[in-house]
Structure 1
Amino acid sequence: MTTEPLRALPLDQLRQRTSAKWRTYPDDVLPLFVAETDFPLAPAITRTLEHAVALGDTGYTSGDSGVREAYAAFAERRFSWSPDPARMRTTADVSMGNVEILRRVVSPGDRVVVTPPVYPPFYDCVAEAGAEVERVPLRERGDGWELDLLGIEAAFAGGARAILLCNPHNPTGTAHSRESLAALADIAARFGATVVSDEIHAPLARKDAGFTPFLAASDVAARVGFTVTSASKAFNLAGLKCAVMVAADGPTSDLLRGMPEEVEWRTGSFGAMAAVAAFAPESDAWLDSLIAAIDENARLLADLLARHVPGARYRIPPVGYLAWVDLSALGWGPNPAARILRDARVALHYGPAFGEGGAGHVRFNLACSPEVLTEAVERIGALVTGDEEERV
């Protein structure tokens, strides 16, 4: 049976929201930059939060929130992976979890590998943990991107102590293969390094997308790594503050248990409640409908770019609602999003912010209505047409 795509809310309702997506720019700008979605909440989440408000259930988050058990069951259903709830802890968000783990596996001044082009806050997370960034860019293949394992090996051989991995990768949507992740684990083990895998976009993976949680890649990966994840991207819960840190081995579990209680106390009460509802079986159908809507928009963007922005280079992302588009051929400089915002009134994420490989690129957010996506690309296409007319 074909899953019916979820429908986005209309613009007049969305513009009543107070989140960053809808308050950063004036109303004449179409916002397709930050990773928020334009869909209604999953019904189970709405009911849970409405009930909590009616009860005045707004106190501190309980250590027995149910998030760990809910995530373990979700991972089993969606990824065929069975993490142990006893080896998890929660915190406010994935970036905080990344930082707290890095602080405990590196010393001040140590180097941590990142794989640009990558989510810009990764650079800040490494600095917040007191470490230095070592960049090992992804390798571009004809059909996508992959980890540069030889480059990562050289970084570890040169003294880097950890890697902050993006899996699935933001902005390319790459789901690193099980073989690649297992090889990364072997390299890390050989040099005594740690892998911190940010898997915030993993809940958006289709069952046929080939997504592998890092800790499930091999027995070695389970020993050398941590996963940090959340319902926040897939279910649009970023403002409610709840993430899960996962270990799969005795020493790594001890590291999580040894964190100060305050790390877990930062978990938002509404975030924990919403995460339990999001990870529940009841929300699976909603999530499948969301993924169907994103898949349709990913294909639509390919068609729109071919018609209106023929110089664009774009690969449909295997996972997630972020689209990485190369506009270098248009001659709009290293940061084409700046001109697009100024002249087309479309807000896209700036490619250079993602590091090496970002010049000339923009990142689209596909978690919107087809109508909004169409208008955005048509506006950009009008700039292309205008440039061509000027050259004639």
Structure 2
Amino acid sequence: MASPVPSANGSGAQNPLTRLRLDELRQRTSVKWRKHPPDVLPLWVAEMDVPLAPPVADALRRAVDVGDTGYPHGTAYAEAVGDFAAQRWAWNDFRVERTTIVPDVMMGIVEVLRLVTDPGDGVVICSPVYPPFYAFVGHADRQVIEAPLGPDLRMDLAALDEAFRRARAHGRRPAFLLCNPHNPTGVVHRRDELEAVAELACRHGVRVVSDEIHAPLVLPGTDLTPYLTVAGAEDAFALISASKAWNLAGLKAALAVAGPRAAADLVRMPEEVSHGPSHLGVVAHTAAFRAGGQWLDLLLDGLDANRALLATLLAEHVPSVTYHRPEGTYLAWLDCTRLGSGSGQAAGGPGVVSDVAGPAKMFLDRARVALSSGHVFGTGGAGFVRLNFATSPAILTDAVTRMGHAVRAQHAPPR
């Protein structure tokens, strides 16, 4: 293990991102570390290179030691989220009775959409956006309607207005699937933007479902506005989890939260949905929200430092790539369009699209750095890559240095 180093907040406690060496990380069996060969640095999927937060690890050990591996019960998870939300986001009207446990955020989104929309109805999303929005909405027999982000990567309210009109004409009960903070851009929506969304949704009769899985990961300099705290959002829903902020994707549990005028809808959610979360997942997520705040603060310090480091590294090694500095999440949305059309193509024949194409394929093939390919994020994603900077400064430096070598080699004149 690395020796402790002072954190940015001066506490002397250790940055979680510096705790694990590359050889230790390669012992992991998760998809991040096993999808690609060992010579590839994986900066793609949303897993962090951190050990478990001590309060979470302690809670899991206690459960295992006493054989507490049965079915989840009670409202401890919702109570912990409510207290965390009040402390961090001034969400003081959070009500435990307007919540229910769901297996994970995406499954919760699907179940909420089944409550408030009908098969064939339109679901608006702001592209480029988290790729499973397309897949899960489609698998639920709803129709995706895109409202592309503006050039500044923030929501384009005119485009959203038009998308709501199309969704209203497309089906009886349309919905808007909001990503707050936004993945992949790292934009944290301002209160005035969300108020405008609520006004548009009310005008067009659109129900809003807000994915707030990255909500605890708002970086210094920005504040989060939970959608349900906005005037006009009383009939909306939010989905919340500790999955991203405490690296608990393998421990399934999330919380669906209803606004006051959506509570009756939430009551209609099938009881068997609550059977999906893992009891150990509920234990872990509850401990994270209840006692993981200090660890989270250290993580946010480390992510803030990596956010700045990434800007420096890109300017030095890959100046042709434009870095859209994220306000939240640990994801960087990199504009690689200036690299040109020779930066890799999709694999497969006509009609077959690889999940790695364009610049992401070039960086994987030539730099041995795995990034998420922008084209899978929908309209506006081609020519971009998403980079996960929740890793050690050493790994981040190595990865961007490799990327720079690959770009220079690609554009070097033939000998």
Task: Give the structure-2-normalised TM-score.
Answer: 0.90
| 2:150 alignment partner, one of 131, 139, 143 | 139
- Residues in 2 aligned to 1:243 and 1:125: alpha-carbon distance in whole angstroms: 16
Aligned residue runs from structure 1 range 137-286, under 5 A: 137-141=148-152, 145-160=153-168, 161-206=174-219, 208-218=221-231, 220-221=232-233, 223-250=234-261, 252-280=262-290, 282-286=291-295
SS of 1:240's partner is coil
Residue from 300, 321, 324 that aligns with 1:312:
321
Count of paired positions: 384
Q: Does 1:100 align with 2:111?
A: yes
State whether structure 2 residue 54 is matched by structure 1 residue 31: no
Residue 108 of structure 1 aligns to a residue whose secondary structure is coil
CA contact under 8 A between 2:33 and 2:42: conserved in structure 1? yes
CA contact (8 A) 1:89 1:245 kept: yes
Over 3 Å counting, the alpha-carbon distance change for 1:44 and 1:30 in structure 2 is same
Would the alpha carbon gap of residues 129 and 386 (structure 1) be closer, same or farther in structure 2, given more than 3 Å must change? same
TM-superposed CA distance for 1:128, in Å, is: 2.4
Query: Which residue type is aligned with residue 105 of structure 1?
Result: V
Q: Which amino acid aligns with 2:381?
A: G
Identity level (%): 48
Supply the distance in 1 between the matched residues of 2:149 and 2:207 (Cα, whole angstroms): 19
Q: Distance in 2 between matches of 1:57 and 1:349?
A: 38
Aligned to 1:124: 135
What is the RMSD computed on CA atoms of the aligned residues? 1.4
Per-residue deviation, 1:347: 0.5
SS, match of residue 235 in structure 1: coil
Corresponding letter in the other structure for 2:164: F
Q: Distance in 2 between matches of 1:59 and 1:306?
A: 52
Question: Which aligned pairs between 1:278-357 and structure 2 lie closer than 5 A?
Answer: 278-280=288-290, 282-331=291-340, 332=343, 335-357=358-380
* Secondary structure of the corresponding residue to residue 238 of structure 1: coil
Amino acid at match of 1:57: D
Higher normalized helix content (fraction of residues): 1
Show the counterpart of 2:121.
110
Superposed displacement of residue 158, structure 1: 2.7
Task: Find the residue that maps to 1:47 and give its secondary structure.
Answer: helix
Deviations 1:110-155 (A, max 9, x none): 11101011000000121122210001101122xxx22111222122
User: Per-residue CA shift, 1:7-48, capped at 9, x if unaligned?
Assistant: 241111111111111111111110000000011111000000
- 1:388 offset after TM fit, Å? 3.4
Q: Tell me how far 1:210 sits from its aligned partner.
A: 2.2
- Structure 1 residue ranges without an equivalent (≥5): none
Counterparts of 1:42-121 in structure 2, within 5 Å, are 42-62=53-73, 64-82=74-92, 83-121=94-132
1-structure distance, mates of 2:216, 2:371: 23
2:115·2:266 contact (CA, 8 Å) conserved in 1? no
Task: Work out whether residues 182 and 188 of structure 2, in 8 Å CA contact, stay in contact via their aligned partners in 1.
Answer: yes
- Structure 2 unaligned regions, length at least 5: 1-8, 169-173, 345-356
Aligned to 2:30: 19
Task: Return the alpha-carbon distance in structure 2 between the equivalents of residues 47 and 304 of structure 1.
Answer: 37
Distance 1:191 1:203, change over 3 A: same
**Does the 8 A contact of 2:126 with 2:149 survive in 1?**
yes
Separation (CA, whole Å) in 1 of partners of 2:167 and 2:230: 24
Structure-2 residue corresponding to 1:375:
398
Following the alignment from structure 2 to structure 1, what is the Cα–Cα distance between the partners of residues 118 and 242? 30
Distance 2:186 2:121 in 1: 29
